[in-house]
Amino acid sequence: MPAAKSYFQDRLVLLLLSVNAFLTLLATLSVLFRMQGAGGSGYIVQYRANLGISAFKTGSSLTIVSFIGFALLVFAVHTVLSLRTYPIRRQLSVVVLGLGALLLILSIIVSTALLALR
């Protein structure tokens, strides 16, 4: 229990947890708001450059909604991993949270790019 108490009192850890929570919320709202204006048509879910003229692959809205699940999963897993590695090494815990933020930023970029193509 003392490790968890010092984990939530570390300012850098709290900052990174807040950034990750904000990025998760941003990813969720970004996907939901961009999907709201779409009709019943399919979404472009893949781009394969090696296929030439048929490089864009369409899919259902469930495929796009999976970006929300991915963002929530990344936030939860990186938070748990960081909490479990904090007693071993503080720097490792901070790196885990930083990599989670990077992964969330990349998922926002990819989901926005795919939803802008429809």
Crossing angle of helices 90-116 and 61-85, rounded to 10°: 170
The domain in which residue 22 lies consists of: 2-116
User: Three-state secondary structure along 4-41?
Assistant: HHHHCCCHHHHHHHHHHHHHHHHHHHHHHHHHHCCCCC
Crossing angle of helices 11-36 and 90-116, rounded to 10°: 10
Confidence of residue 115 (pLDDT cuts 50, 70, 90): confident
Is the pLDDT confidence value at 94 over 70?
Answer: yes
Domain count, the chain: 1
d(CA 43, CA 60): 6
pTM exceeds 0.85, yes or no: yes
Q: Dump pLDDT digits (tens) for 6-61.
A: 889 999 999 999 999 999 999 999 999 988 765 556 788 877 878 777 788 888 88
Is the pLDDT confidence value at 74 over 90?
Answer: yes
Q: Cβ atoms within 10 A of the Cβ of 19, count? A: 16
